[in-house]
Chain A
């Protein structure tokens, strides 16, 4: 750790990913959330590129490029356009407030650190701590999906969860299928995103009266 710059930069990038996940939890406005997600993907791309440099694994550069192009640029732009066209409500309703969500996030980070460090006592220290950060990012993405009512924020949570998985995959060395898995995941996400919004359009154009829909479903808030 002392004076080992590669170690430090890898940790710093992984830690920044956790920090950006917290920033996502903090956001109350939809456009700001998309920008932060773009930052999330950017930091992921930087982290993967650094791992490619450190491990000498050129196929990881491809993963980094995919993350940069697809997740940092294409998906946020597409989501932005969809939000504008469908006129989705631009404030994110939360189930729990920002304060308790942040506290819960802190507990999750602590939990994943402790779990990872206890379960892997003999492994390479760099890999262990990066895995701990990756698990934190996954858990924070899940927390975001659980504590937000808005469909777009749930999609963003799912994608940041997937970013955490990519980080974990690159941190643990020796996974040659990473490129294929990355592409497949991205396409899958794209299909899920489009699917959700098609469903919403169908919902929206089927009936305008939410009250009638509520009565019909027999559910009460």
Chain B
């Protein structure tokens, strides 16, 4: 009985993250539009976009290979598995012990590896621009993320997300300096990984201002739908991750009853809304950086993460 319940909850989590991610993106766009005194697209527009793309033909470049056609599925699979392992409304999911935080980050890294390859596949210069900039950004964002993981793991004594979340909820961690350093670093990394302003502009289709959009320039139809869904999933993953690590109150414990689960779901929706609104506010308030200022920006995140880890190595109470 408990096994079937756990299994059902794991599947519920997978479906929830899949269905909610376009809604989060639609919410962020709506808030941004309102901040700019526009009406903005309706909240459910991303769903309509996905359905429209699914119905269209795929137009494939003549020089595209089998890898180009396989990559959207690979990216989607990796991102969906990673998103399913981040606790949203309940911690201690059935398969959460199979991949810890490092493995989740590495899964996202696999997705990015294949996306960069897809950018190079057709043999145009735009794909090359996107891929080369993407790997430059990744070369700094991934180490910064790993340093943040180290900070959290050194405090909580484990790299398992559920254990970390449970530790922070229990209040044993307190308000630590290293957490205060890791939070801005995680925020910067999340911005870079999700291709938001100031690192990349998700709304533009102008060649020289884009990184992510340049890599997927040649995609169309159902492939583009899958890639868009994957990036929306990734945004949801990062917002859930920040909520789970730094604001874990309300997440249902592994042995919780229906009431706690309902509370978990409601608090999760609230955190998503808050996160989306903050992201929209931040994106509206700041301008996009020149590409070669991004390494300094991400280098700051790496330094913050390294400083937090160093403080924890030197003194266990920091």
Do chains A and B make direct contact within the complex (CB under 8 angstroms)? yes
* Interface status of A125 (Cβ within 8 A of chain B): yes
Count of B interface residues, CB-CB < 8 Å: 22
- Could you give, for residues 149-179 of chain B, a 1 whenever the CB lies within 8 Å of some chain A CB and a 0 otherwise? 0000000000000000000000110111100
B318 and A26: CB pair below 8 A?
no
B69–chain A nearest beta-carbon distance, Å: 41
A139–chain B nearest beta-carbon distance, Å: 14
B317 and A110: CB pair below 8 A?
no
* Interface status of B109 (Cβ within 8 A of chain A): no
Pick the contact of A8: B176, B296, B303 (CB < 8 A).
B176
Contacts of B177 in A (CB 8 A): 11-12, 14-15
| CB closest chain-B residue, reference A125 | B317
* Interface status of B311 (Cβ within 8 A of chain A): yes
B175 and A5: CB pair below 8 A?
yes
A117 and B315: CB pair below 8 A?
yes
B174 and A3: CB pair below 8 A?
yes
B306 and A12: CB pair below 8 A?
no
Instruction: A109 to B311: give the CA distance in the assembly, Å.
Output: 9
* Interface status of A183 (Cβ within 8 A of chain B): no
* Interface status of B273 (Cβ within 8 A of chain A): no
* Interface status of A162 (Cβ within 8 A of chain B): no
B180 and A113: CB pair below 8 A?
no
Q: Is the interface of A mostly helix, strand, loop or mixed?
A: helix
A109 and B174: CB pair below 8 A?
no
Besides A2-B174, A106-B306, 8 new A-B residue pairs in contact (Cβ under 8 A), listed by A number: A1-B174, A12-B175, A19-B304, A22-B303, A102-B303, A106-B307, A113-B314, A117-B315
| B interface list, Cβ under 8 A from A | 171-172, 174-177, 180-181, 184, 296, 299-300, 303-304, 306-307, 310-311, 314-315, 317-318
Q: List 25 A-B contacts (CB under 8 A).
A: A1-B317, A2-B172, A4-B174, A5-B175, A8-B176, A12-B175, A12-B176, A12-B180, A19-B184, A22-B300, A22-B304, A22-B307, A98-B299, A102-B300, A102-B303, A105-B303, A106-B303, A106-B306, A106-B307, A109-B307, A109-B311, A114-B314, A125-B317, A129-B315, A129-B317
